[in-house]
Amino acid sequence: MAEFDPPDAIENPATGACGEDTPQQAQRKGEGRSARRRRSRAGASSTSGDPSRQRAGAKPTPLPRQDDTAEAWLAASEESRFAFTGQEAAPVTPPTVARPLPGYRQSYAAIDLGTNNCRLLIARPSGDNFVVVDAFSRVVRLGEGLAQTGMLSDEAMDRAVSALRICADKLKRRNVHLARSVATEACRRAGNGSAFIERVHRETGIVLDVISAREEARLAVLGCHILLEPGHGPALIFDIGGGSTELVLIESTPTVPRILDWISVPWGVVSLSETVGGEGATPEARRARYAGMRDRVADSFATFSARLDPLRAAAASGDSPPLRLLGTSGTVTTLASVHLDLPQYDRSAVDGLVVPAASMRAISTRLSDMAIEQRRELPCIGRERADLVVAGCAILEAILDLWPTDRLGVADRGIREGILRSLISANDAGERARATLRELKLR
């Protein structure tokens, strides 16, 4: 019997908003759609004059519709493959191909199995854009206990497989033509990662591609760079995950960004939380734990920070444009929601937001001082994120120390969107090549 999506695990295809319901969200589910729309419009108008809540650069179009052309994304993909090391990246596992059903438009899918979350996005091309037709997100905590044991636990693997079964069912029902499914840090580090990948294939039919940190960083940039504030000179894009954090230094160009440097460190919200131990019973103990987290992350950034010294100095002296910063992760979207004082998560309000860095620091300090019971009561955090958000705050503050900018761009898009653009672009390029060959044969 096919599994059905539990209500608290579905990402809304109409808005892209994802995550598990907080108690406040559950109460609001009984309200009418028209009332929610009125509140959304009212919220948008109330923030329009506040510079701390303005959108980044040219106003981005939120999901389900994307704005980049397929050609630009193909160019971005090919350029960034070489820019990391000067040589071509290692080949990746070919995407899964499903036979389209007659009478349906073909769809593309991207699955991102991270250390903390399992996410799916299914979309259909629409001109130069794509429209999301289905989406799914569930907290599975695949990397739970990995820092202590070096292995994926049976319970964690069971949770992930359960979520992936739902994804597999959606792939079948949505007539997916091309799909790529990736796994990241937890599967890279775990001693039984390969056995888990085999189990997933055996039980769900999904072939997970365990991508490198370099490929993870590339896809994140491809998925969110359009939200970077306009400007010249280097900018930093980061992705705080469950098991690792990627930082990518890019240079804006008239078309797609050029990758100048990058780093991946083994600290994400799960791995850092588990490494430093439990929270203290007093504010003083919690502050000490938080300071230790920041120091640990800062130490891992040391060599990368040294390479950034000339850029920071040039920006501080006024010899180069102001530094630009864009983050894609549950940490930055959660803190942006707290900044906006949202009663529940609203992707349309957060994706593309530009927030003062000082506000994000103040929120981080406040959350790190709170007991976990207090954080659980905050809208947009809730029980699922209350124990992990402090580690995300510590990583974010270490990044703000590394790249001292006044403003932080927020993106609720990343690896999945990068995968979709790559799939659609590659398929379009292949179709054009096949059409050219057919034309030559007719001559």
H or E element: which one contains 166?
helix 154-173
% of the chain with per-residue pLDDT over 70: 72
What does the pLDDT read at residue 44? Answer: 40
pLDDT at 43 over 90: no
* Tokens describing residue 97: 């191909």
pTM: 0.75
What does the pLDDT read at residue 220? Answer: 94
| Domain positions in the chain | 91-211, 216-415
Q: CATH classification of 91-211 is 3.40.50.720, yes or no?
A: no
The string of pLDDT tens digits covering residues 312-333 is: 999 999 888 899 999 998 999 9
pLDDT at 309 over 60: yes
* Tokens describing residue 297: 């992350």
- Are the beta carbons of 197 and 187 closer than 8 angstroms? yes
Q: Which residue type sits at 365? A: T
Structure-derived torsion over alpha carbons of residues 410, 413, 419, 424, reported in degrees to the nearest 10: -110
The string of pLDDT tens digits covering residues 140-186 is: 999 999 999 999 999 999 999 999 999 999 999 988 989 999 999 99
pLDDT at 425 over 70: yes
Identical fold, 91-211 and 216-415: yes
Lowest mean pLDDT among 71-75, 263-267, 272-276, 349-353: 71-75
pLDDT at 288 over 50: yes
Q: Is the preceding peptide bond at 102 cis, omega within 30 degrees of 0?
A: no
- Residue 268: phi, psi to the nearest 5? -125, -175
pLDDT at 67 over 80: no
Strands 234-240 and 324-328: parallel
CB-facing half-sphere around the CA of 240: CA atoms within 13 A: 31
Cα–Cα distances in angstroms (integers) from residue 100 to residues 78, 199, 284, 410, 417, in the given order: 28, 26, 59, 36, 22
113-138: average pLDDT: 90
- For 216-415, CATH gives 3.30.420.150
What does the pLDDT read at residue 430? Answer: 62
Q: Among 137, 114, 76, 170, which residue's Cα sits nearest to residue 421? A: 76
Beta-carbon contacts of residue 218 (< 8 Å; ≥ 6 apart) = 77, 80, 81, 84, 89, 248, 259, 418
CA distance 185 to 271: 10
CA distance 418 to 73: 8
Number of CB atoms found within 10 A of residue 117's CB = 21
- Are the beta carbons of 365 and 287 closer than 8 angstroms? no
